[in-house]
Structure 1
């Protein structure tokens, strides 16, 4: 059979349409890859994955576990994940490095997540004793910013201490081995370090705590429907923690290899709820100024954090959770 030019044109359009449809179907059927942190801060999303809340909202989700929020965010910026859980400070470093993502919601906060743990056998009993000492921090994390705030509010000059960047994979090992004299550590590493140090360890008091905020971020371009379903699943995790704490502690304890009582203690001092508010905006802006001042980032331009907040999904889920004006 001879094909006319018109036939060939129609065949080409049909083939192109078929290819587009197949690509769309493949994209639709592919699981949504989500990086969820292993530490205490990320408990609601851990529960959402563990209890099948994503599937209940019609989402097929593949979870990547990560040691902290900074690593989760790197999975997203490297293109390995489409959604990530992350505290405020790593977002600042990633955005100053030129990465872009949508901030979807805050789902938790705590002023007790991070602690300054010191060795008493190095002559440290109070904040002023930190002068001349080595303080370990994981660079670009909430513990890094916490340590900066701790020194500032307790009157310890920044240039009087030596900040040592430690590998998060080593946990509290640098402090336990005496490679540093003190460390800014988030849960569960901080409490574990105190327990292992025994009489040689102390958690230093602070005049004013820093409140860490943990967030859900996504690659630009995800649909409103997908993000709304994600938020509904996250909301289920939050509701389980707040409404059925006993069951939540048992589930998380099994995940963390703790009994329910120790899991409850691990979660003490956390507030979990979905929100987008002015506090997050002001925190990110303050951290940007600190990162620029300390020479921790190359770009000195403060990102437009308000512009990066994708408010529509949370507003559709619960308008009362929105206290930021955009």
Structure 2
């Protein structure tokens, strides 16, 4: 045994052997892909909790990827930021994505991070005589144009038996909605928390009423980027999805720790936070329901005049299945992918 060790020590003492081993060490290091710093746009909201939990709890870092999050007032604005080149990935509802799809066929959906069917409400001025949906007739209602809250409002009015021309619709930026409501410039707003809570507080006790319709509309939260991103950085994409999957597990198994992250970031009343939290299903998926929603909401956008002239050929919708990049999620969480036609798309 001592003789073997002596032979090894003797070999290591030779300059040529030491140089060869050093070169081998360097080459091994060079084979490891240097992970990029990924910029991700996201709204600071309960619905986007997976992104913030993965960041604040160090899960992205544990998976070996550096993610810098750029906050936006809404998912629509995060998409607009990505289109301007401010971020590489963004989290958004399916509505602005459907509207952007015809003009931007290189957009890709990498995962749905969660969904909720009771996330958006109409907040109305009780002191203006609104106590039920039908009372919105002739009222001034504000929302963010071409977004999930706009689509919900259209569905809500239809459910209440009201046509578009029977209300006065106004479009404002997200940051303007609570103030406009509190000042009485509009009679109602279609929005989600924390904007709704801020508007209620600014308007004063007893002056507003929430009109909600659970189950009317299911909003999804989707991780979206350019087609080229996953092609250039396949390993980074998989690490991001793995981190988000771990964050989803943490939300389910350690909800208090996850809630603490969002309570600190949003500074929202704990009772309200818990209520919003209970309405969101945090789970990574890519399923057929997403494609159906994208098609339905693009048809609505066309009928509402939200697309510019010539953007979409009459009677022809984009191939939304082609916009779903299933390969990264299939590697990380294969059971999460359930799309008809995926076998043909990704042989």
TM-score bucket (shorter structure):
0.7 to 0.9
Equivalent residue, structure 2, for 1:234: 244
- Aligned 1:28-177 pairs, distance under 5 A: 28=34, 30-98=36-104, 100-177=106-183
Structure 2 length as normaliser, TM-score? 0.82
- Aligned 1:6-21 pairs, distance under 5 A: none
Equivalent residue, structure 2, for 1:286: 296
Structure 1: 5+ residue stretches without partners = 1-23
* Partner Cα distance (1:213, 1:146) in 2: 13
1:154–1:261 Cα change, 3 Å: closer
* Partner Cα distance (1:128, 1:61) in 2: 46
- Aligned 1:213-252 pairs, distance under 5 A: 213-221=220-228, 222=230, 223-252=233-262
Equivalent residue, structure 2, for 1:10: none
Of 289, 296, 305, the residue aligned with 2:320 is: 305
Highest CA radius of gyration, 1 or 2?
Answer: 2
* Partner Cα distance (1:237, 1:170) in 2: 32
Deviation at 1:259, TM superposition (A): 6.1
Give yes or no for contact 1:128–1:155 (8 Å, CA) kept in 2: yes
* Partner Cα distance (1:100, 1:154) in 2: 38
Give yes or no for contact 1:116–1:183 (8 Å, CA) kept in 2: yes
* Partner Cα distance (2:202, 2:269) in 1: 18
Q: Which moved more, 1:28-37 or 1:171-180?
A: 28-37
Deviation at 1:208, TM superposition (A): 4.9
Equivalent residue, structure 2, for 1:178: 184
Deviation at 1:245, TM superposition (A): 0.7
Q: CA RMSD in A?
A: 2.0
Q: Which moved more, 1:260-269 or 1:76-85?
A: 260-269
| Cα displacement string for residues 38-97 of structure 1 (whole angstroms, at most 9, x for unaligned residues) | 122111111111111111111122221111111111221112211111111111222234
Structure 2: 5+ residue stretches without partners = 1-29, 343-347
Equivalent residue, structure 1, for 2:333: 318
Deviation at 1:263, TM superposition (A): 3.1
Deviation at 1:99, TM superposition (A): 5.8
* Partner Cα distance (2:35, 2:262) in 1: 30
Equivalent residue, structure 1, for 2:11: none
Q: Which moved more, 1:239-248 or 1:201-210?
A: 201-210
| Cα displacement string for residues 145-204 of structure 1 (whole angstroms, at most 9, x for unaligned residues) | 110111112211121111100111224111111111111011211233234432110112
* Partner Cα distance (1:155, 1:181) in 2: 18
Deviation at 1:300, TM superposition (A): 3.1
* Partner Cα distance (1:138, 1:205) in 2: 17
2:262 maps to 1:255: no
* Partner Cα distance (1:98, 1:260) in 2: 40
* Partner Cα distance (2:95, 2:197) in 1: 21
* Partner Cα distance (2:214, 2:60) in 1: 41
1:166–1:34 Cα change, 3 Å: same
| Cα displacement string for residues 2-45 of structure 1 (whole angstroms, at most 9, x for unaligned residues) | xxxxxxxxxxxxxxxxxxxxxx99x9464111112212211111
Give yes or no for contact 2:123–2:210 (8 Å, CA) kept in 1: yes
Equivalent residue, structure 2, for 1:271: 281
